[in-house]
């Protein structure tokens, strides 16, 4: 994709703070470091979102996220600021907060109180019959 910024970063055509690179991925520091150590896993090939991503790359991306999470935990511990937690986050579509339309997985090291916006959802119960129907509809879609 000629006009995709993450294609260019992943290919090394635009400089980035690269943390890791292999034949499939480049991992960079996100421009926004409100959560210190915020990393992005970028596939080198262009896929717009999770729906498009081949299963093999989806699996590899998650294994890489685990590796990076363990490394972040070690690095923060070594720096004398042990992590309190870590989020793995991935947005698909504008309504879900996706702003760059090239699949990427966020790895977010967390320190207590670092971002008042979390958690991402509020408490909102649903009537139990509606819950059952919703579960059935999702089950049906999986089986079809």
Which position among 31, 63, 125, 141 is part of the footprint of ligand AMP (CB under 6 A)?
Answer: 31
Compute the least distance from the CB of residue 89 to ligand AMP, in Å.
7
Interaction of residue 49 with ligand AMP, rule CB under 6 A: no
Interaction of residue 11 with Zn ion, rule CB under 5 A: no
Q: Give the Cα separation of 127 and 114 in Å (integer).
A: 34
Interaction of residue 46 with Zn ion, rule CB under 5 A: yes
Q: Give the Cα separation of 60 and 58 in Å (integer).
A: 6
Stretch that binds Zn ion, among 15-23, 41-49, 103-111, 114-122 (CB under 5 A): 41-49
Helix, strand, or coil (residue 87) = strand
Our answer to whether residue 104 is catalytic in this structure is yes
């Amino acid at each position: 994709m000629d006009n995709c910024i993450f294609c260019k970063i992943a290919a090394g055509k635009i400089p980035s703070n690269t943390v890791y690179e292999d034949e499939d991925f480049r991992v960079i520091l996100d421009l926004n470091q409100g959560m210190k150590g915020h990393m992005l896993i970028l596939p080198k090939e262009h896929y717009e979102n999770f729906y498009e991503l081949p299963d093999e790359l989806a699996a590899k991306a998650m294994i890489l996220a685990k590796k990076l999470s363990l490394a972040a935990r070690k690095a923060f511990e070594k720096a004398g600021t042990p992590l309190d937690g870590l989020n793995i986050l991935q947005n698909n579509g504008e309504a879900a907060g996706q702003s760059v339309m090239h699949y990427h997985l966020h790895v977010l090291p967390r320190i207590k109180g670092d971002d008042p916006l979390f958690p991402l959802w509020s408490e909102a119960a649903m009537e139990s019959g509606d819950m059952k129907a919703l579960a059935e509809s999702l089950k049906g879609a999986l089986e079809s």
